[in-house]
Amino acid sequence: MKKRVMLTYGTFDMFHIGHLELLRRIKEMGDELIIGVSTDEFNQIKGKKTIIPYEQRAAIVEAIKYVDRVIPEERWEQKREDIKRYGVTHFVMGDDWSGKFDDLGDICEVVYLPRTKGISSTELKETLKSLSAINLNELNHAIEILKRIKDNLE
Ligand code: CTP
């Protein structure tokens, strides 16, 4: 039977269980898994701000046991070239991209998998932001108490 070569792209910032589940499910469907990790420059073009730099995001994805090869994603138009270069048989994305890459269906199979519910890099960043806000409130509260103590001493 023909080797099934799977390809997906993503930013994979603050690697989380939704990412892991996607990679696990894609590898289960095929023999080889190639991941295009978006570079910092490409994320800027996409208007996406990352916390973790490209080299670290790529190293983390490369260390996942389901992943056979990591390539940089630098441009929107590279998908067709990558599919031909690496002999990709299946192009797979999470269903937040449903229908967006159907045009690649002339050279390989295009599959959209359901996202894992309740987690995303954006939500993790929002949680970090609200935690910093809570810390700031606590800090301001402590400063107020110290001020009062100081005023009483004078
Ligand atoms: N993904 C998923 N389940 C999640 C989050 C992401 O299956 N809960 C998939 C996406 O559909 C995509 C891949 O993981 O195919 C990489 O997604 P990426 O955009 O890097 O992750 P998100 O957590 O969705 O990041 P953001 O919130 O910045 O969009």
* Residue found by looking up tokens 């056979």 in the block: 68
Task: Tell me: do 25 and 44 sit in the same domain.
Answer: yes
Q: What is the pLDDT of residues 76-123, one digit of tens each?
A: 999 999 999 999 999 999 999 999 999 999 999 999 999 999 999 999
What is the atom index within ligand 1 of the atom nearest the CA of 120? Answer: 23
Task: Tell me: do 79 and 137 sit in the same domain.
Answer: no
Task: Tell me: do 94 and 148 sit in the same domain.
Answer: no
pTM of the model: 0.89
For residue 132, what pLDDT is reported? Answer: 84
Task: Tell me: do 152 and 80 sit in the same domain.
Answer: no
SS3 56: helix
Task: Tell me: do 131 and 64 sit in the same domain.
Answer: no
What is the atom index within ligand 1 of the atom nearest the CA of 38? Answer: 20
Instruction: Find the domain containing 133 and state its range.
Output: 120-154
Task: Tell me: do 99 and 130 sit in the same domain.
Answer: no
CATH number of 56's domain: 3.40.50.620
Q: What is the pLDDT of residues 13-51, one digit of tens each?
A: 999 999 999 999 999 999 999 999 999 999 999 999 999
Residue 38: CB atoms within 10 A of its CB come to: 23
Task: Tell me: do 86 and 41 sit in the same domain.
Answer: yes
- Which residue of 96, 110, 113, 119 sits with most ligand 1 atoms within 8 Å of its CB, as the best mutation to test the pocket? 96
Residue 5: pLDDT over 90: yes
Ligand 1 close to Cβ of residue 5 (< 6 A)? no
Whether 2 is a known active-site residue: answer no
What whole-number percentage of the chain has pLDDT above 90?
Answer: 87
The total number of structural domains in the chain stands at 2
Task: Tell me: do 27 and 102 sit in the same domain.
Answer: yes
**DSSP-assigned states of every residue in 103-146:** GGGGTSEEEEEPPPTT--HHHHHHHHHHHHHHHHHHHHHHHHHH
Q: Could you tell me which residues come within 8 angstroms of residue 149 by beta carbon, excluding any fewer than 6 positions away?
A: none
Task: Tell me: do 124 and 110 sit in the same domain.
Answer: no
Residue nearest atom 15 of ligand 1, based on CA coordinates: 94
Q: How far apart are the CA of 20 and the centre of ligand 1, in A?
A: 10
Task: Tell me: do 103 and 138 sit in the same domain.
Answer: no
Whether 48 is a known active-site residue: answer yes
Task: Tell me: do 63 and 124 sit in the same domain.
Answer: no
Task: Tell me: do 85 and 21 sit in the same domain.
Answer: yes
